[in-house]
Amino acid sequence: MRTKSFKSGTWIARAMGALGLAATVSAGAFTAVQAQDRTSVRIGYAVSATGPNAGGANMTVTPNYELWVNEVNAKGGLALPDGSRLPIEVTAYDDRSSAEEVVRAVERLATQDKVDLILPPWGTGFNLAVAPLMARHGYPHLAGAAVTDKAPDFVKRWDTSFWFMGGGHDYATALASVLQSAKADGKINNKIAMISVADGFGIDLVKAARPSFEEAGFEIEYDKSFPPGTSDFSTILSEAKASGADTFVAFSYPPHTFALTKQAQVASYNPSVFYLGVGAGFPVYKNISGGQMEGVMSLGGIDPNNAANAEYRQRHEEVLGRAPDYWGSVLIYASLQMLEEAIARVGLDRAAIAKELSTGTFDTVLGETKLEDNQLRNIWWAGQWQDGEFVALSPEDRAGAGTVQLPKPAWQ
């Protein structure tokens, strides 16, 4: 990582550096990195490597940070407006899944390590915990792994924050609309059995889902939440089965998603629609379902014909030895690509980067990408396993969307 790619001799850069130094000195703070002997761009992050959040963070966030840094450095570093390149130097901390720890780690990155840029932690709660700090120290905050309906409010509060994963309402209404057309086609009845994990994610989704489903003409026959520590779903599944609903919806986390799949197979529970939460889009889901993932629905999805995305997935597997998930990974990666492009256009001035992120148009794995009110909106909201790929279904009118295949084939 410490390759020497610093190009000397551009006096403009030096002069700019001197000016920058003068500005920081007059502001009363000495920055550790002086621009004229800058040999790298220092990027820091604190993501959960241990504790309850590690499983999610280690799937969606950390691998993409590593992949991106690896790729950028292989190219010789981050391109700057003058055409020179600076390698990335990483400072990574483990927040140990503790809110206090993530706050202090970001304080450390900002005021002790004085890194140039800070990448966000995993999780809605942790992104919110660090948001005020990021804003106060002027770091653009590319909140990747955070699902929240309140993003518009947060953008008002912290105008250098950017939200890449949409909110519970988006996912719930997208699902409702997919189900509504299936019902109109006579493929499913008007009953839904729905369960949700009792934490921020599950509650956000289920709260949005109730009115959406009812509006779409469904009756929610079974509607329960379960504690995050639950590992046995046999009772829940038998109640759901007894409800007579053709549609089973679970807003769940990976351990629950996996357990629900295994136990539904054992119980021969075969609803026409089997929709699960986080984890159904993980590559490991193929093994967990014993190769029977066909027809299972969840959040996210990809367009199998999108070449850029396919190439991204291939690189992810080559560099890290494992495939990315089908929902958040590509969004996080796209946010990093946007950051890279923004730096190439405006340099390392953080305010300028934030402005560019907010107003610019970027070319990412998602295609041409532009944020709306600091939020990424061209997200695939719902998908389904079809022929070994997790195919995006919604928004239905977006180019590349597949069509839902119902009923889901019965478990063998």
Partner 1 sequence: MKPFLFGLLVIGLLAWAPLVLNDYGTGLLLGLTGYATLATAWAMFSGPTRYVSLATVAFFGIGAYTVAVLSETLPYPLVLVVAALIGLSVSLVVGLATLRLAGVYFVIFSFGLAELVRQTVTWYEVNVTGTLGRYIFLPLEARHIYWQLLALLVLTLLIGIYMRKSRIWLALVAVGDDEVAARHAGVDVTRTKLALFALSATIITLVGAIQAPRWTYVEPTIVFNPTISFLTLVMALLGGAGKLWGPIVGAIPLFLLFEWLSANFPNHYSIILGGIFILIVFAVPNGILARLETLGQRRKGEAQ
Partner 2 sequence: MFEHLINGLVLGGTYALVAMGLTLQYGIARIMNLSFGDTVIAAAFAAYVLFTALGLSPLLSLLIVVPAGFAFSYGIFSLIMRPLVRRSANSEALEVDSILATFGLLFVIQGVLLVLFGGNFTSYSYLNVPVDILGAVVALNRLSALILAAVLGGALVLLLMRTRWGLRMRAVAISASSAPLVGINVIQTSRMAFAIGGALAASGGVVISMYQTFTVTSGVVFTMKALIVVIMGGKGSLPGALAAGLILGLVETFVAAYIDPGLTLASTYLIFLALLLLRPSGLFGKAS
Nearer to partner 2, 39 or 225 (CB): 225
Q: Kindly report each contact of residues 5-13 with a partner whose C-beta sits within 8 Å and lies 24 or more positions away, as own/partner.
A: 5/76, 5/77, 5/85, 5/86, 5/87, 6/38, 6/39, 6/40, 6/86, 7/84, 7/85, 10/82, 10/84, 12/82, 13/82, 13/84
Q: Which residues of 350-379 are buried (b: 16+ CB within 10 A; e: fewer)?
A: bebbbbbbbebebebbbeebebeebbbeeb
Kindly state the tokens that stand for 377.
């909106």
Nearer to partner 1, 151 or 404 (CB): 151
Least Cβ distance, residue 399 to partner 1 (angstroms): 35
Nearer to partner 1, 207 or 355 (CB): 207
Which of partner 1, partner 2, none does residue 344 bind (CB under 5 to 8 Å by kind)?
none
Instruction: List the interface residues with partner 2, window 106-135 (CB under 8 A).
Output: none
Instruction: List the interface residues with partner 1, window 136-155 (CB under 8 A).
Output: 137
Instruction: List the interface residues with partner 2, window 155-214 (CB under 8 A).
Output: 195, 198
Instruction: List the interface residues with partner 1, window 28-87 (CB under 8 A).
Output: 49-50, 52
Least Cβ distance, residue 314 to partner 1 (angstroms): 28
Exposure of 169 in the CB half-sphere (CA atoms within 13 A): 7
Which of partner 2, partner 1, none does residue 398 bind (CB under 5 to 8 Å by kind)?
none
Residue 344: its H or E element: helix 328-346
At 371, is the secondary structure helix, strand, or coil?
A: coil
Report which DSSP code applies to 399.
T
Which of partner 1, partner 2, none does residue 129 bind (CB under 5 to 8 Å by kind)?
partner 1
CB 294 within 8 A of CB 409: yes
Which of partner 2, partner 1, none does residue 266 bind (CB under 5 to 8 Å by kind)?
partner 2
Binding mask 99-128 for partner 1 (x = CB under 8 A): xxx-xxx-xx-xxx-----------xx--x
Sign (positive or negative) of CA dihedral 384, 386, 389, 392 = negative
Please give the full DSSP string across 302-323, using - where no structure is assigned. B-TT-HHHHHHHHHHHHHHSSP
Is residue 410 within the footprint of partner 2 (CB under 8 A)? no
Least Cβ distance, residue 56 to partner 2 (angstroms): 8
Which of partner 2, partner 1, none does residue 145 bind (CB under 5 to 8 Å by kind)?
none
Instruction: List the interface residues with partner 2, window 43-102 (CB under 8 A).
Output: 48-52, 54-55, 57-59, 97
Please give the full DSSP string across 232-251, using - where no structure is assigned. --HHHHHHHHHTT-SEEEEE
Instruction: List the interface residues with partner 1, window 222-241 (CB under 8 A).
Output: 225, 227-228
Least Cβ distance, residue 214 to partner 1 (angstroms): 15
Report which DSSP code applies to 112.
I
Is residue 90 within the footprint of partner 1 (CB under 8 A)? no
SS3 content of the chain, % helix, strand, coil (to 5): 40, 20, 40
CB 379 within 8 A of CB 165: yes
Is residue 262 within the footprint of partner 2 (CB under 8 A)? yes
- Cα distance between residue 160 and residue 334, in whole Å: 17
CB 102 within 8 A of CB 121: yes
Quick one: which of 96, 345, 377, 398 contacts partner 1 (CB under 8 A)?
Answer: 96
Stretch that binds partner 2, among 9-17, 25-33, 284-292, 397-405 (CB under 8 A): 284-292
- Cα distance between residue 177 and residue 80, in whole Å: 44
Q: Please report where in the chains the tokens 């597949």 appear, as a residue.
A: 402
Nearer to partner 1, 113 or 294 (CB): 113
Quick one: which of 17, 76, 81, 132 contacts partner 1 (CB under 8 A)?
Answer: 132
Q: Please report where in the chains the tokens 């202090």 appear, as a residue.
A: 104
Binding site for partner 1 (CB under 8 A): 49-50, 52, 92-94, 96-101, 103-105, 107-108, 110-112, 124-125, 128-129, 131-133, 137, 157, 198-200, 202-204, 207, 225, 227-228
Binding site for partner 2 (CB under 8 A): 48-52, 54-55, 57-59, 97, 195, 198, 224-227, 229-232, 234-236, 238-239, 254-255, 258-259, 262-263, 265-268, 279, 282, 284, 287-290
